[in-house]
Structure 1
Amino acid sequence: MKRDTYVLDDLELKLGVIFSDKDILKTAVTHSSYANGNKNIKFNERLEFLGDAVLQICISEYLFLNYTNKAEGELTRKRALIVCENSLYEVAKNLGVGKYIRMSKGEELTGGRERVSILADCMEAIIAAIYIDKGIEQARVFVMSNFKNIIEKAMLNKIILDYKTKLQEIAQKNGYVDIEYNLLKYDGPPHRRKFYTQVLVNEKMLGNGTGYSKKEAEQNAARCALDNMEEEDE
């Protein structure tokens, strides 16, 4: 119990929210795998449902009030870019939420603390917990402080969902180029392989990436390449 209290206190500092009801925060960071076989342990799936709705209303309200020149259709498309798994994952990573999630040893050994879906779902649950414990105003403050950069990128059409496709589009806009992804190495046990990849454009190395699947590593290498190309253009 003391360890749980310490961990929750540390998480509260990261979130910038001090909970009156610590149990609601504990539930928000409890994955279903941790509760398996124990009906007395609450986990965060129901909170995810509420958190999605809270995030939707906060983002919808902000877009409605601050982008009065945008039509309904465009606002809907922008909101979909902002309120999505990738954005929730990005916020969770920025806050370091992964290390606070309560999960089974098996889930942890297979990369659960860095899995996109688990981090995104936990972030939704945390938003719901803030809403329940502190109300809509505090939930709105939390959402806006953590999603502001994502909103700005969405409105500037800078959110990229598929980095490999985007790299191909940019690299080939002036003609054909050869894009090659090379697996440099992998390490770790079979259930926790980590892959290291580089991407070359016309035989020039532009980016490196790591991930717990080849696909994730290649996406991260493409993302790195895009960042490097942007820096060269500045």
Structure 2
Amino acid sequence: MNTQGGPDGFLSSFGVSIDPELFSLALTHRSWAYEHGGAPHNERLEFLGDSILGQAVTVKLYRDYPELTEGELATRRAALVSTVALAEVAHGLGLGSHLRLGKGEELTGGREKDSILADTVEAIIGAVYLSTDTETAAAFVRALIEPLLADPDRFTASLDPKTSLQEAAAARGLPHPPYETSGTGPDHARRFTSRVTLDAARGLGAVTGLGRGTSKKAAELAAARDAMRQLRDSAS
């Protein structure tokens, strides 16, 4: 396991320090624990971190967006704490290379699985809370989600970008846009690339979205989100 000099090195840009034992526990998946005689793993920390994440995001949205309704706030919160969003955070941190995984998960691409990455982000949040205090943990969460907040598409199309793209196609009088998706690499580390095209219609130009992911579904969602981003940019 590569920890880049331990928790201080791994999270130095956030200005937080995690107890080394908690840091190691946060990175320990249950598959590794099972192969090592039932050692402790990160699911309890994940449970704690999920609660802290939800509260910190809720408070930030409530304070920063006084004009939004309860339903709109709930939609934004769901987008920010989703598995997809937290996996993006994990990829940004390079978290995959730090995980302690069992042999089975290692062979099936566990270091790239959104669910494992998202759970580990929550576990690290829990470890930060136990190592510091409530406000430091909340500030850590706010720093983690800052890049997500900078993406306006996240709150319109990110929860279901394929449906949003279908609605855009219908508004142009077009059928559902087709996806062309292919995979490369061995079964345990397969990567998918998807392309979706919204044809030109009614004086509007064609749009082609591209996306990549560790599953066909993830790649198609990314392609749909890219297409929706282009549509928004062309309308502005």
What range describes the TM-score normalised by the shorter chain of this pair? 0.7 to 0.9
Instruction: Name the SS for the 2:5 alignment partner.
Output: helix
Q: Over aligned residues, Cα RMSD in angstroms?
A: 2.9
Please state how far the C-alpha of 1:55 moved relative to its aligned partner.
Answer: 1.2
CA pair 156-24 structure 1, distance change in 2 beyond 3 A: closer
**Deviation digits for residues 149-199 of structure 1 (CA, Å, limit 9, x no counterpart):** 54566899435212211111123213224511123x432223333222221
Aligned pair partner of 1:189 in 186, 189, 194: 186
The aligned residue for residue 201 of structure 1 is 198
* Residues in 2 aligned to 1:76 and 1:232: alpha-carbon distance in whole angstroms: 28
Pairing of 1:136-215 with structure 2 (within 5 A): 136-151=134-149, 157-158=155-156, 160-177=158-175, 179-183=177-181, 185-202=182-199, 206-215=208-217
> With structure 2 as the length reference, what TM-score do the two structures score?
0.82
Counterpart mapping for 1:213-224 below 5 A = 213-224=215-226
Q: Give 1:91 deviation, angstroms.
A: 1.8
> Paired residue for 1:30, among 24, 28, 31?
28
TM-score w.r.t. the length of structure 1 is 0.83
Deviates more, 1:74-83 or 1:24-33: 74-83
Aligned length, in residue pairs: 231
Local SS of the residue matching 1:198: strand
Q: Is the 8 A contact 1:167 1:222 kept in 2?
A: yes
The aligned residue for residue 84 of structure 1 is 82
Amino acid at match of 1:198: R
After superposition, the Cα gap between the structure-2 partners of 1:158 and 1:148, relative to the gap in structure 1 and judged at 3 Å, is farther
Residue identity (%)? 39
Q: Which runs of 5 or more residues in structure 2 are unaligned?
A: 201-205
State which drifts further: 61-70 or 141-150.
Answer: 61-70
Within 5 Å, which residues of 2 pair with 1:22-101?
A: 22-39=20-37, 41-68=39-66, 70=68, 72=70, 74-101=72-99
- The residue type equivalent to 2:9 in the other structure is D
Query: In terms of mean alpha carbon deviation, does 134-143 or 71-80 score higher?
Result: 71-80
Distance 1:72 1:166, change over 3 A: closer
Q: What is the DSSP-based 3-state SS (H/G/I as helix, E as strand, rest coil) of the residue aligned with 1:175?
A: coil
Cα offsets for 1:115-134 (capped at 9, x unmatched): 11111100100100000001
Contact 2:96–2:111 under 8 Å retained in 1 = yes
- On the 8 A contact 1:48/1:128 being kept in 2, the answer is yes
Counterpart check, 1:134 vs 2:132? yes
State the AA in 1 paired with 2:234: E
After superposing the two structures, state which structure 1 stretch, 210-219 or 122-131, moved more: 210-219
Asked whether the equivalents of residues 209 and 218 of structure 1 are also in contact (C-alpha less than 8 Å), the reply is: yes
8 Å CA contact retained: 1:210, 1:221: yes
Q: CA 1:104–1:16 in 2, change beyond 3 Å: closer, same or farther?
A: farther
